[in-house]
Amino acid sequence: MASPTIKLNSGYEMPQVGFGLWKVDNAVCADTVYNAIKAGYRLFDGACDYGNEKECGEGVARAIKEGIVKREDLFIVSKLWQTFHDEDKVEPITRKQLADWQIDYFDLFLIHFPAALEYVDPSVRYPPGWFYDGKSEVRWSKTTLQQTWGAMEKLVDAGLARSIGISNYQAQSVYDNLIYARIRPATLQIEHHPYLQQPDLVNLAQKEGITVTAYSSFGPTGFMEIEDFRVKHAAPLMESPVIKEIATKHKKTPAQVLLRWATQRGLAVIPKTSRSEVMAQNLDSVNFNLDDGDLTKIAEMDLNIRFNKPTNYFSADKLF
């Protein structure tokens, strides 16, 4: 079972169904990546902040060594953490991340969040996380997104990234990027599920030729693992009567309906799981079509609830 691909504005083909690496425990990460490759996944969505890039690299290296895949069969995505937004920090940290993955280029490298934090040397703490002191102090950097984007473009020039993109940008920052981009973002990665559909942002990106990747396609489920208190405000999507009814009608699982809803809108998806049978199920989610009635019912589920907000991590009391 292989995923269909989407042609990016950079000219490269990107698998439409990939594998997410956030919250994959270090102890099982190498095996998880290796098993996902065996299950047919070719796109892996990693990040400095996930703290498991070395283990991801071990899984990839094992699969390559055993002849299951070649490097060029894989599409490896990683992200620039906020503490590395300063222009002179982008290339060195990218080289470190590449070394962790045991590869010499990323297929796609994203700005993780459009907000720069003050530099923390990797020898002090890695991954650095949100807090300058590792506890609670948030120190913003004065580096602009335009400066950081210029350094991202140089990664392409240097052959360290084939495509570059953005994540967690809203419309204003996408428009801003398009004013100064010498290399346009190939993808925009955003939180996207029936409770947060963001049709205007998706339309804007697609109109501008930027492929949208949906993360947290299962909504609150991905945030239950970090015991995020906001999940209490939204029922699990996989247990929604609307999603279950559509799944029964198509003889699919609720998870497959949630993924197909996104891929049918032209988005890529990057679900995460550690279980082999679920890996196969998620990859096999593109071989049916939701009908107009299904799409209307899902459109009515939009609550505009966002689970992944940076401020949630350091000012939970100011949320509601």
Does 189 help bind ligand NAD (rule: CB under 6 A)?
A: yes
32 touches ligand NAD by CB under 6 A = no
Based on the shown chain and the rule CB under 6 A, indicate whether residue 222 belongs to the binding site for ligand NAD.
yes
Q: Does 16 bind ligand NAD (CB under 6 A)?
A: no
Q: Round to the nearest angstrom and report the end-to-end CA distance of the chain.
A: 43
Query: Do 212 and 205 form a contact (C-beta atoms < 8 A)?
Result: yes
Nearer to ligand NAD, 43 or 151 (CB): 43
**Minimum gap (Å) between residue 221 Cβ and ligand NAD:** 4
The reply to whether 215 sits near ligand NAD by the rule CB under 6 A is: yes
Task: Based on the shown chain and the rule CB under 6 A, indicate whether residue 218 belongs to the binding site for ligand NAD.
Answer: yes
Question: For residue 127, is the peptide bond before it cis, meaning its omega torsion is within 30 degrees of 0?
Answer: yes
Among 64, 278, 295, 305, indicate the residue that binds ligand NAD (CB under 6 A): 278
CB 53 to ligand NAD: min, Å: 12
* Range 140-169, binding ligand NAD (CB under 6 A): 167-168
272 binds ligand NAD per the rule CB under 6 A: yes
Out of 152, 188, 255, 267, the only residue in the binding site for ligand NAD (CB under 6 A) is 255
Residue 186 C-beta: closest distance to ligand NAD, Å: 15
50 is a catalytic site residue:
yes
In sequence order, the 6+-apart residues with CB closer than 8 A to the CB of 92 are none
Question: Using the rule CB under 6 A, is 282 a contact of ligand NAD?
Answer: yes
Contact window for ligand NAD (CB under 6 A) among 122-130, 142-150, 240-248, 278-286: 278-286
Catalytic residue among 34, 41, 50, 119: 50
Report, as residue numbers or ranges, the catalytic residues. Answer: 50
Binding interface with ligand NAD (CB under 6 A)? 20-23, 45, 112, 167-168, 189, 215-218, 221-222, 225, 238, 253, 255, 270-273, 278, 281-282, 308
